[in-house]
Amino acid sequence: MTLINKDPVIQAENIYATGVHHLHLVDLDGAKSGQVENYLIIKKIRQKFQGFLELGGGIRDQKTAKTYLDMGIDRVIIGSAALEDPDMVKELLQQYGAERIVIGVDGKDGKVAVNGWLEQSDVSMEQLIKEMIKYGAKSFIVTDVKRDGTMEGPNLDLLMKLTQKLPQANIVASGGVRDLKDLHNLKALGIRDVIIGKALYEKTITLENIAEVERNAS
């Protein structure tokens, strides 16, 4: 893991000031422990970042999801719990709606990975998305674990397969995005939402690039 900024609150403020008003935030400690690990920092980020804020990492029960949603987090990401406790996810979707609950589908070789990517399941990513659609979910952050942080480009084959087989699902691409060409390739697949991480810090995509894409999409 690479430390980009010692103060994530300042980093969030800098991102907003550049004109990027959608922030994807992950509690990496919580993703591994399955518990709330950085509550106070997340609360400060929510207070300072005036745009749309989604949060993932360690949200595996209703209490944790409620804590963050009541804090003002716009949307929470449910990952491992979608596979391990689908009834809980169904209740969250019924209570808060699909606009505030997004399903994180992390996988390797087409199979779902859980618990901070530490474990591999036998359930396919497509199968999990289908099941969650039945429960009312609409948006799915699809991450190819092998591509995440590699700067090798997104797994277009996987994403094309999912968008073709599940046209009713809003697929959010995550993992491997490296430049504007990747964004254009994803747009050609009909994918409008993309998570950009390492490319931003490696400066192959700039905050100004992202802000311009946001403006053109709105």
Q: What are the pLDDT digits (tens) for 56-73?
A: 998 999 999 999 999 999
The whole-angstrom separation of Cα 197 and Cα 156 is: 17
Reading the block at residue 113, the tokens are 């990975």
Catalytic residues: 106
2 pLDDT above the threshold of 90: no
Mean pLDDT of the region 28-42: 87
Report how far residue 173's alpha carbon sits from residue 185's, in angstroms, rounded to the nearest whole number. Answer: 11
Domain boundaries, the chain: 8-217
Output the CA torsion sign for 172, 149, 77, 45.
Answer: negative
Q: Is the pLDDT of residue 10 over 70?
A: yes
Question: Strand pairing of 193-195 and 75-78?
Answer: unpaired
pLDDT averaged over every residue in the chain: 92
171-216 pLDDT, tens digit each: 999 999 999 999 999 999 999 999 998 998 899 999 898 888 777 7
Give the confidence band of 116 by pLDDT, cuts at 50, 70, 90: low
Higher pLDDT, 155 or 215: 155
pLDDT band at 1, cuts 50/70/90? very low
Q: Is the dihedral of CA 44, 28, 83, 154 positive or negative?
A: positive
> Rounded CA gap, 31 and 104, in Å?
12
Strand-strand pairing, 111-114 and 119-124? antiparallel
CATH topology classification for 8-217: TIM Barrel (3.20.20)
In eight-state DSSP terms, residue 192 is: -
Q: Among residues 91, 99, 105, which one has the least CA distance to residue 74?
A: 99
Rounded (5°) CA angle 51-35-30: 55
| Per-residue pLDDT, 4 | 59
Q: How confident is the model at residue 121 (pLDDT cuts 50, 70, 90)?
A: confident
